[in-house]
Amino acid sequence: MTWILDLLPNCLRLLHNMLARIPHPRVDYVVVEVAGSYPEREPPRPPMLQRMVAPPWKKPGESLEALRCRLDRIGAAAHVRGVVLRIRGIDGGVATAATVQSLRGAVLGLREKGKRVVAYLPEADLPTYYLAAAADEIWMPAPGHWNALGLRVEVTFLRGALDRAGVVPEYERIAEYKTAADIFMRSGISKEHREVLESVLDSVLAEFTADVGKDRNLEPGALRSAIDQAPLEAEAAREAGLIDGVGYEDELPARLGSEERPAAVKPWALAHRRLPLPYAWRRRRPAIGVVQLVGTIVPGESRELPVPLPLVGSRYAGCDTVARAFRAAERSPRVRAIVFHVDSPGGSALASDLIWREVERLKARKPVVAFMGDVAGSGGYYVSCGASRIVAHPSTITGSIGVIGGKMTARGMLARLGLNREIVARGEAATLESAFEPYTPDQLDGVRRRMSAIYRTFVGKVAAGRGKSEEEVEAVARGRIWTGRQAAERGLVDELGDFTSAVRRARELAGIPEGQEADVITVHPPRAAGVPAPAGSPAGLALGGAVVASALAAWATIRELSREPALLLMED
């Protein structure tokens, strides 16, 4: 009976596909705009009230999942010759290099289907050029500039400001490369911190020069020289072989066709009506379930704050929410394997361990393939290390197997303000979590012991999950971060690839034959029961309540993380 439920939508798609074959209006090339941050999957749709009060900069942009669907439809259209990628900008810097590599994979996949891809760049910084290089041709207007200026990481150290404010940071770390708290503890960069950042920049830049050099048939040395000489005017970039042509966007139809018969170049908003839709008999096919962990790992439920907090950002992956998603995937008879998408700098040690347990428990029943996005370090690596396989981009930031712990003490700040906070306590550890009382020597010893125990547990679980000795893990741990390629060379990652590579590996581990179709579905956790809003609440009251709720959520998140003496967190 389930096929009957699919019959009506597929009949409508059949009608659409028949109309799409009508030769007029002609579509030779489809313009696809590329701009934004491109998360891997479509996020869950937030409640109506949350959508109403969300600021404009928090509106969700297009995901890689949605972009791949668009390119797949273009690839299936026999009458369409190719795509014009109008690349306006890709959010982020070094930490989002893996996203650009995913975008490149989608472009190369379209070219493998026989479609011509032309990139049009009004301006070309390094991320946009990295993507454009995957196209057959690159065009730029004459006033444009090739601005691939290289890579940089900027770190602001707060110790001087904290000293002036009378705030004392009391943080410990295991080990020397665990630098997440250095912005509070130090006034400048340590040699270990600099060593790690230089290693990551060298690795990411090497990926860029190798990939672009292959795309453009350029020697890596020539490409590095161009980066050192940037910015270059469009004509100089063309002479250097960095782009293929100089011209305005309105000149593209004649260049892609001829003066007598210009190519019909249509924007997606008009062209999508002329593209076939795939049929979907999903209820009869096996599925690969995708469980997402995006953001700082915290106890309780996932949430998103309207304003990011220093070091921990604005998105929080709650261990309870992620656990419910895993258990929903476990119960589903359709889901044969799970791709665990992790994009997180870590967070709570306890919450990370509870998620690790779900992975460890589930993989005995169904394969779990961890797929690392832009960042999967510290707690992000902890939750991944027990998976059946680990797939990462070459430029994913991962590793950071280490622990930090401590607190900020603000008694001096109160004194400077003329305030005196008296504390009356019973129990030697009663002031352990107080922000107005420094650690006693015994309390500090206790924090260090707990951190050491968590670090040993972390190393042991990595060793068990990766099939290594603890001594081998220790050699690549100590808080050091690695790119995906560096991690693969050291056995922390099984293979390099994108999301489609992880899905392919999950299919293989699940025993799904290569020719058999299988769906890829995002597993959304069952909703926790919430308190409904009173009926007929005025809109202004609802808006005020949402703002207050956001502020309370931010405060609760700060308290949750600050109350843990030990965190699995890396700088993001």
Contact 346, 569 (CB under 8 A): yes
Look at residue 6 in the predicted model and tell me its pLDDT: 67
Whether residue 190 has pLDDT greater than 50? yes
For 52-77, b/e burial (b = at least 16 CB within 10 A) is ebeeeeeeeebbbbebbebbbbbbeb
pTM over 0.75: yes
Written as one string, the DSSP assignment of 326-380 is HHHHHH-SSEEEEEEEEEE-EEEHHHHHHHHHHHHHHTTTS-EEEEEEEEEETHH
Whether residue 313 has pLDDT greater than 80 = no
Mean of the pLDDT values across residues 200-225?
A: 95
Average pLDDT over residues 127-147: 96
Rounded-to-integer distance, Cα 276 and Cα 505, Å: 28
The answer on pLDDT for 536 being more than 90 is no
Of 99-108, 117-126, 560-569, the least confident: 560-569
For residues 366-382, b (16+ Cβ closer than 10 Å) or e, as one string? bbbbbbbbbbbbbbbbb
**Euclidean distance between the first and final Cα of the chain, in Å?**
49
- Lookup result for tokens 């001594």: 471
Stretch 132-154: mean pLDDT, rounded? 95
Q: What pLDDT is attached to residue 306?
A: 72
Of 35-44, 325-334, 342-351, 368-377, the least confident: 35-44
497 alpha carbon, distance to own chain's centre: 14
Q: Has residue 54 got a pLDDT over 60?
A: no
* Count of C-beta atoms within a 10 Å radius of residue 262: 15
| Rg (alpha carbons) of the chain, rounded to whole number | 26
pLDDT confidence of residue 555:
55
